[in-house]
Amino acid sequence: MPIALITGITGQDGSYMAELLLARGYRVVGTVRPGKEPDYLRIAHVRERLQIVEGDLLDERALRRLIEQHRPTEIYNLAARASSSQLFQEPILTAEFNAVAVARILEAIRQVDPRIRFCQASSSEMFGNSLESPQHERTPFRPRNPYGVAKLFAHGMVETYRDTYGLFACSSILFNHESPRRGPEFVTRKIALGAARIKAGCTDSLPLGNLEARRDWGYAGDYVQGMWRMLQVAEPGDYVLATGETHSVKEFCEAAFERVGLDYRRHVAVDPQARRPPETVQLVGDASKARALLGWQPTVSFRDLVYMMVDADLERLQARA
């Protein structure tokens, strides 16, 4: 039986990865941060089939002991400080969790068992102020916030350990990926939950920032499938996972409110304080390599993704009523 270790198992990506691996017959070990009460909501339906352990990404010795104890055949590092509100808050702690922690994991793998296959969740934030669009694996990185900089350090360490020590280490360069399990601090979930709450009569307005901002939005369940496939092929490498198309925040609003039979223009209020600086080059991913070498492609359309999120929030609200 293959054994997988998932950091960040209680998050959006971790929960989908746990489901996928359990369905494929893995024994799944998931880490939670020590000293903090975990939120098991996203994995409640599979909790009894998982082994949950404390894993301190800031403690190299503890990581080594964790790997020695559980002897995973695959490790998926999905833990990160990721929300937009944290991009410029506590940059040193962001670097510790999103950058240096990856070096600790890679070094622990090298020392305990170099045969372990490792997947790092990299980010399109590494492209930042890119000079070209769409972005692919050979596009130069130009991060513009502490999160992107930290992810780029981790990305570079994966390549270094792969080239220097021969580890089977991969980076999945993930563009925006959403689901009903997305945290409420992200704009997509704010919109889906806002539309559901307005439909349910809980509120009447939804404050948002720049409605013209565009993103390459995909479904998180598709993206963990891509990460798993990276560790099943003969040679390690880095892969962009993206839909290759962009949609605006306004389009997300239109679809979300359409789902509940409302006109977003009657309820969405633009908050100038929530605006971000304009982007000169569009971030949109070219996943040609993943399609060709992994046989991966998105399965959920943009509109279906929006509908899925709104439906889930409506169901939650109705269950509480």
- Per-residue pLDDT of the chain (321 residues), as tens digits, is 999 999 999 999 999 999 999 999 999 999 999 888 889 999 999 999 999 999 999 999 999 999 999 999 999 999 987 655 556 677 888 899 999 999 999 999 999 999 999 999 999 999 999 999 999 999 999 999 999 999 999 999 999 999 999 999 999 999 999 999 999 989 999 999 999 999 999 999 999 989 999 999 999 999 999 999 999 999 999 999 999 999 999 999 999 999 999 999 999 999 776 666 666 689 999 999 999 999 999 999 999 999 999 999 999 999 887
Domain boundaries, the chain: 3-177+218-241, 183-216+245-282+300-320
Fold match between 3-177+218-241 and 183-216+245-282+300-320?
A: no
| DSSP symbols for 108-147 | HHHHH-TT-EEEEEEEGGGTSS-SSSSB-TTSPP---SHH
Please tell me which residue in 19, 76, 122, 125 is annotated as part of the active site: 125
3-state SS class at 31:
strand
User: Is 223 an active-site residue?
Assistant: no
Instruction: List the CATH code of the domain at 3-177+218-241.
Output: 3.40.50.720
- Confirm if 153 and 101 have CB atoms less than 8 A apart: no
User: How far is Cα 79 from Cα 252, in angstroms, rounded to an integer?
Assistant: 27
Query: Active-site residue among 16, 26, 76, 147?
Result: 147
- State the DSSP code for 285: B
Distance (Å, rounded) from C-alpha 174 to C-alpha 177?
Answer: 7
Q: Which fold has domain 183-216+245-282+300-320?
A: UDP-galactose 4-epimerase; domain 1 (3.90.25)
Model's pTM, two decimal places? 0.95
Q: Among residues 15, 123, 130, 179, which one is catalytic?
A: 123
**Assigned token pair, 284:** 């949109």
Does residue 125 have an active-site annotation? yes
The reply to whether 147 belongs to the active site is yes
